[in-house]
A and B are shown apart, each in its own frame.
Chain A
Amino acid sequence: MPQTSEKGHTLGQVMVFWAWIAVLAGGLAYMIVIPLIGR
Chain B
Amino acid sequence: MRAFRDHSLSILFGALFVLALAGQSVAGFFDTNEKLQEHGQPILSFGTFLTSSEFVVDVAENWQSEFLQFFLFIAATIWFIQRGSPESKKPGDEGTGTDEEQLVGDHARPDSPAWARVGGIRQTLFSNSLLLVMGAVFVLSWLAQSLAGAVVMSSENAEHGQPPVTWLEYLATPDFWNRTLQNWQSEFLAVGCMIALSIFLRQRGSSESKPVGTPHRTSSVSSE
Which A positions have Cβ atoms within 8 angstroms of B? 2, 7-8, 10, 12-13, 16, 19-20, 23-24, 27-28, 30-32, 34-36, 38-39
Say whether chain B's binding surface is mostly helix, strand, loop, or mixed.
helix
Is A39's CB under 8 angstroms from B144's CB?
Answer: no
Known: A8-B111, A16-B10, A38-B151. A32 touches B53 (CB 8 A): no
Which B positions have Cβ atoms within 8 angstroms of A? 2-3, 6-7, 10, 14, 17, 51-53, 56-57, 59-60, 63, 111-114, 137, 140-141, 143-145, 147-148, 150-151
For the complex with contacts A31-B144, A31-B145, A34-B53, 8 further pairs of A-B residues with Cβ separation under 8 Å are: A8-B113, A12-B7, A32-B147, A34-B148, A35-B56, A35-B147, A35-B151, A39-B53
Is A39's CB under 8 angstroms from B151's CB?
Answer: yes
Residues of A within 8 A of B17 (CB): 23
Is B2's CB under 8 angstroms from A7's CB?
Answer: no
Is B51's CB under 8 angstroms from A39's CB?
Answer: yes
A-B contact count (CB 8 A): 61
Is A2's CB under 8 angstroms from B2's CB?
Answer: yes
Q: List 23 A-B contacts (CB under 8 A).
A: A2-B6, A7-B114, A12-B6, A16-B7, A16-B10, A19-B10, A20-B10, A20-B14, A23-B14, A28-B140, A28-B141, A31-B56, A31-B60, A31-B63, A31-B141, A31-B144, A31-B148, A34-B52, A34-B53, A35-B53, A35-B56, A35-B147, A39-B51
Residues of B within 8 A of A24 (CB): 137
Is A19's CB under 8 angstroms from B14's CB?
Answer: yes
Is B10's CB under 8 angstroms from A32's CB?
Answer: no
Is B113's CB under 8 angstroms from A32's CB?
Answer: no
Least Cβ–Cβ distance between B160 and chain A, in angstroms: 19
Is A27's CB under 8 angstroms from B63's CB?
Answer: yes
Is A39's CB under 8 angstroms from B52's CB?
Answer: yes
Is B114's CB under 8 angstroms from A34's CB?
Answer: no
Is B10's CB under 8 angstroms from A28's CB?
Answer: no
Known: A7-B114, A19-B14. A32 touches B151 (CB 8 A): no
CA gap between A13 and B6 in the complex, in Å: 9
Q: In the complex, what residue of chain B is closest to A36 when comparing beta carbons?
A: B147
CA gap between A39 and B56 in the complex, in Å: 10
Least Cβ–Cβ distance between B95 and chain A, in angstroms: 26
Least Cβ–Cβ distance between B179 and chain A, in angstroms: 14
